[in-house]
Amino acid sequence: MSEKGVLYVISTPIGNRDDITLRALHIFSKCDIIASEDTRHSGMLLTHYGIKARYLSYNDKNKRRRIPLIIDMLNEGKIVGLISDAGTPLVSDPGYSLVHASIENGIKVVPIPGASSILTALVGSGLPTDSFSFYGFLPKKGRKKSIILESVKNAWNTSILFESPQRIPKTLKALYEVCGNRKVTLGRELTKIHEEFIRGDIKEIIDKTENGNIKLKGEFVIIIEGHNVK
196: Cα within 13 Å, side-chain hemisphere = 12
Q: What is the mean pLDDT of residues 82-111?
A: 93
* C-alpha to C-alpha distance for 20 and 47, rounded to whole angstroms: 13
Q: What is the mean pLDDT of residues 115-138?
A: 96
* C-alpha to C-alpha distance for 47 and 43, rounded to whole angstroms: 6
* C-alpha to C-alpha distance for 118 and 223, rounded to whole angstroms: 9
Q: In angstroms, how far is the first alpha carbon of the chain from the final one?
A: 61
pLDDT digits (tens, 9 = 90+) for 200-218: 999 999 999 988 888 888 8
Domain ranges, ordered by start, for the chain: 6-112, 117-224
Q: Please state which CATH class domain 117-224 belongs to.
A: alpha beta
Confidence bin at 198 (pLDDT 50/70/90): very high
pLDDT reported for residue 31: 96
* 98-104: Cβ within 8 A, 24+ apart: 98/7, 98/35, 98/58, 98/63, 98/66, 98/67, 98/70, 99/7, 99/9, 101/67, 101/71, 102/7, 102/71, 102/74
**Answer CATH for 6-112 from 3.40.640.10, 3.30.1370.110, 3.40.50.300, 3.40.1010.10:** 3.40.1010.10
CATH topology of 6-112 equal to that of 117-224? Answer: no
Mean pLDDT of the chain: 94
Confidence bin at 10 (pLDDT 50/70/90): very high
pLDDT digits (tens, 9 = 90+) for 49-88: 999 989 999 999 999 999 999 999 999 999 999 999 899 9
CB 225 within 8 A of CB 182: yes
